[in-house]
Amino acid sequence: MKKEIVRSLRVLLTLTIVTGFLYPILIAVIARVVFPKRAEGSLLERDGVTVGSLFVAQKFESDRYFWPRPSAVDYNPLPSGATNFGPTSDTLRRVVEFRRAAFISRNQLGLTVTVPNDMLFSSGSGLDPEISPESAFLQVDRVARARHFDERQKSALRELVVRSVRSPQFRILGMARVNVLSLNLAIDALK
């Protein structure tokens, strides 16, 4: 029996070293060589200052910017996660109704407008940095009003949203999407 315990401890130590240390270091080195920008978090800079990551949602509440998906963790990456509300939860229903009414009100939309699900429900991580093109287009008028854009500038803003739409990965995985942070940075660059 003593031999079995020693053998088990050796296997545990070997697996801990291989899977806990060697494998993560190997993957990190490969990622830095093959995908250096992504391995560093795809950080975006403006005027030499890091303003965010393409992979982590930022909190935008101003009418001057496009809004991301709601976040169950208030856009905090440390405790990332979703809510525990199930589909029959009254709390979830009330939260979704509140988000829908607030989105319609702040964007001055008609009561019959269908608000896309990504503006009503938080993602599984609570940090999804992208929204659907439909969600972005519903926000164009609000952003243009807040920035006092004339019709020509509003048209340029709409075109910017069109150019910001990324197609599904490999044209089959996922859905078309717009990265909110990169779109908002591009708006600030509009003249």
Instruction: Answer yes or no: do 4 and 62 share one domain.
Output: no
User: Is the domain of 25 the same as that of 115?
Assistant: no
Q: What is the pTM of this model?
A: 0.79
Specify whether 116 is located in the same domain as 22: no
- pLDDT at residue 116 greater than cutoff 80: yes
Whether residues 144 and 99 fall in one domain: yes
Mark whether 54 and 12 lie in a shared domain.
no
119 shares its domain with 77:
yes
In this model, does residue 186 exceed pLDDT 70? yes
Same domain, 4 and 30: yes
Same domain, 36 and 5: yes
How much is the pLDDT for 138? Answer: 97
What pLDDT, on a 0 to 100 scale, did the predictor assign at position 119? 95
Mean pLDDT taken over the chain: 90
pLDDT greater at residue 21 or residue 123: 21
Predicted pLDDT of residue 191:
65
Are 113 and 36 within one domain?
no
Q: Report CA dihedral (105, 108, 111, 115) to the nearest 10 degrees.
A: -80
Torsion of CA 70, 141, 130, 56, to 10 degrees: -70
Residue range 100-115: average pLDDT? Answer: 94
- Among candidate residues 180, 169, 172, the one with its CA nearest the CA of residue 130: 180
Q: Are residues 46 and 117 in the same domain?
A: yes
Question: What total of structural domains would you count in the chain?
Answer: 2
User: Alpha-carbon distance 68 to 58, whole Å?
Assistant: 7
| CA–CA separation, 165 and 151 (whole Å) | 22
Domain residues for 20?
1-40
